Amino acid sequence: MTSRRPPGNESTERNAPSVEAAFQAVPPEMVAEILDGELHVSPRPARPHANVASNLGGILLAPFKFGTRGPGGWVIINEPELHLGPRPDKLVPDLAGWRRERLPRAVGGDDAPAHYDLAPDWVCEVLSERTRSRDKGQKMRIYAREGVRHVWHVDPLARTLDIFRLMEGQWLLVHSFAGEETVRAEPFDAIDLELALVWSE
């Protein structure tokens, strides 16, 4: 299980001990991330954000994790803690997915850490006013550096879905969907995705 981070741009800089200590001290009702050595603390997602993330995860699990009316072959996890890069950056996307062959034992044994240090194949960030700039800026740069192949940005208030694909280290906006369309959204384009279900309450 290895990261796809390209060789040659390895940084030896580490997070400051005070930042790591502050990260560990954040209460569980908050979301803590370390991006480029800086601690960011956010409240738990608001209801529209949590609703859409839950809906989307529910839609994808049956066909892509369990292979029910779909191809299977994925591990999909809600709000995993990712430790990426040598620093490391510590990120908590709303959803993340790995091809099963890259993460055959998603749970691991009793001594497995709570976090994942293997970059996902797909990440979904549900945008909010508090986190939008980080989701679209720092986190996208980190995901590109680590070789994450697909990123989705979902806006629950505007009801939009933007699909990004990593091409030669740069993000390409492949599709922008809105409203209640039925779409095919890579890398889960083996099935129709009904956006009306994503926004439903």
Give dist(CA 201, CA 198) in Å, integer: 9
> What homologous superfamily does CATH list for 46-199?
tt1808, chain A (3.90.1570.10)
Q: What is the pTM of this model?
A: 0.91
Give 108 or 126, the one with higher predicted confidence: 126
Give 49 or 105, the one with higher predicted confidence: 49
SS3 label, residue 76: strand
Q: Spell out the residues 6+ positions from residue 144 whose beta carbon is closer than 8 angstroms to its own.
A: 166, 169, 170, 171
C-alpha dihedral (80, 86, 88, 89), degrees to nearest 10: -80
SS3 label, residue 62: helix
Give dist(CA 177, CA 109) in Å, integer: 40
**What are the structural domain ranges in the chain?**
46-199
Residue 12: its pLDDT value, please? Answer: 72
pLDDT score of 8 more than 60? no
Give 40 or 113, the one with higher predicted confidence: 40
pLDDT score of 147 more than 70? yes
Residue length of the chain: 201
What is the band of 1 on the pLDDT scale with cuts at 50, 70, 90? Answer: very low
Please identify which residue in the block is written with the tokens 């790995």: 98
Give dist(CA 63, CA 76) in Å, integer: 11
Structure tokens at 186: 């890579």
Give dist(CA 53, CA 37) in Å, integer: 27
What confidence tens digit (pLDDT) does each residue in 17-40 have? 999 999 999 998 899 999 999 999
Residue 3: its pLDDT value, please? Answer: 45
